[in-house]
Structure 1
Amino acid sequence: MLAPKSKADLAFTMHILSSLAVDGTAAIVEFPGVLYRGGAERKIRKYLIDNNYIDTVIQLPPDLFFGTTIATCIIVLKKSKHDNSVLFIDASGQFKRLGNKNKLQPANQDAILDAFTARVDVAHEAALVPNETIAENDYNIAVSSYVEQADTREEVDIVALNAEIARIVARQQELRLSIDAIVADLEGDAASLG
């Protein structure tokens, strides 16, 4: 696995591709901006997708590497692929916080490798996307564009919520009547004293 020297440059990826054997595989760590920015980076992504060189894009967790807390990604290149699709893997939750950095533990690495090897859609984890779909999405290869995040919002039972609101309103009315009775009683006591 190699890391580019500059954060905004897919030219390094092109250099690796030119050095790659016909049956070889390259894994390149990149900053996430190269997955969606326009300009020259878009042109390079277009070339890579149109020529079917991108095998997999893996979104890694933030704060893995020394000197940066930003989330990074891995772009896996192959010159001899068996399909015309890109596998997108969201591994952003695959880490354990150790000290002041996130770490990929063996179990995390195995989970990522299993998704990479299986090469199938898994809800909220992986999506196998045809190159044509990526082209229609302006050659955006950001994992979040293809792998839907799990909905972690609390599910609300609207019927139970409405019943609870009705109970609260009824109790509020009871309390108002009790308070009115107490005030009337106090006013009656005050009038009899005066």
Structure 2
Amino acid sequence: MKKDFSAKAYRNDLKEKGVFHTDSKLAEIIKSYGKERPKNVYDPTCGVGTLLSVFDEDIPKYGQELTEEYLKVAEKTLKNFTGEVGDTLKNPAFMDMKFDLIVANYPFSIKWEPDKEDVRFKDWVDVPPPSKADYAFIMHMIYLLADDGVCVSLNFPGILYRKAREGKIRKELVERGYVKKVIQVPSGYFEDTNIETTILVLSKEKFKGSIKFVNLKDDLERDVQLEEIAENDYNLSVSSYVQKEIEVEEIDPIELRETIRNKFIQHVDDNLGIELFLTETFEDKKARLDLLKFYKKVLEVVEKHILNLKEQIKKSLAD
């Protein structure tokens, strides 16, 4: 049976692999955080080449893709492109190269087989857990990044706060000064899902002592010093550092109390008036007598509270 390689089938296949289809809008956003005119650009999980397609034709493009048919689509649509088929984590291509710009929308939190002796991972405090390869892709990209290069990747928000091995790697990533920006991408940017995502901007250039956190939804950003991030256990969630201020209306307590009292009186008056209207409408003598008793009970309650208040006033004056 011939396999379906339509756009819909491609997106469904990506979903099964933990990847979400990157539309042109998101590709342009990722591009905007990289270099304006990179010497070359690399995508470690390039798919059909969506991320690479937003770069000018004269810029050399490189990509690796697990599925041969998808790579063939990229080769047909991209200009100045060199592609390789294979598993980026198991059998990485282009290991003898360094890239000026790396862009990626790698599969989120997939299983993988860690290799502590792999040159890409052996100099780190730990390797990512077998159940989640997110940081393996990040460490792979850092290894292939030029000393003055920039890496812009789309990530699942969990990498910003998950602990254990990932927490150790994230701490080292921050302490090495590689993390330059963390951007919170609101839901709605993907065609096939509404999940919120995160963009990481990484580089090996000299660390300036702070990381910029950006909230795209509310158009907010803030430079956060390393000391504050360390105090927060190296949590990189944007919401931990950038939050939209909620405007709280100042309320005059005296005016508020007066308004509540007036509404209460109006409520009592309206309800008692309705009771009287109903007895007049049905001309029921017994109902009128019952209503009179009800009025008296209401009056008794009010008089009781008046007496209590008078006693309080009398006592306060005596003191």
Partner of 1:47: 172
Unaligned 5+ segments in structure 1 are 95-124
Contact 1:61/1:93, CA 8 A, preserved across alignment? no
Give 3-state SS (helix, strand or coil) of 1:64's partner.
Answer: coil
The number of equivalent residue pairs is: 160
Contact 1:55/1:78, CA 8 A, preserved across alignment? yes
Structure 1 residues 189 and 25, CA, compared in 2 at 3 Å: closer, same or farther? closer
- Displacement of 1:88 after TM fit? 0.3
- Displacement of 1:50 after TM fit? 0.9
Unaligned 5+ segments in structure 2 are 1-102, 110-131, 290-319
- Displacement of 1:66 after TM fit? 3.9
CA–CA distance in 1 between the matches of 2:160 and 2:258?
48
Correspondence 1:63-74 to 2 at 5 A: 63-74=188-199
Identity of aligned residues (%): 35
Correspondence 1:1-194 to 2 at 5 A: 1-7=103-109, 8=132, 9-93=134-218, 125-151=220-246, 155=249, 157-159=251-253, 160-175=255-270, 178=273, 187=285
Contact 2:152/2:202, CA 8 A, preserved across alignment? yes
TM-score by length of 2: 0.44
- Displacement of 1:149 after TM fit? 2.7
- Displaced runs of 4 or more, over 4 A: 176-191
Instruction: Please tell me the residue identity of whatever aligns with 2:104.
Output: L
CA–CA distance in 2 between the matches of 1:38 and 1:126?
25
State the structure with bigger RCO (CA 8 A, min sep 6), 1 or 2. Answer: 1
CA–CA distance in 2 between the matches of 1:92 and 1:178?
52
TM-score by length of 1: 0.70
Contact 1:54/1:86, CA 8 A, preserved across alignment? yes
Deviations 1:53-86 (A, max 9, x none): 1000000011322443211110000111351111
CA–CA distance in 2 between the matches of 1:136 and 1:171?
55
CA–CA distance in 2 between the matches of 1:24 and 1:52?
14
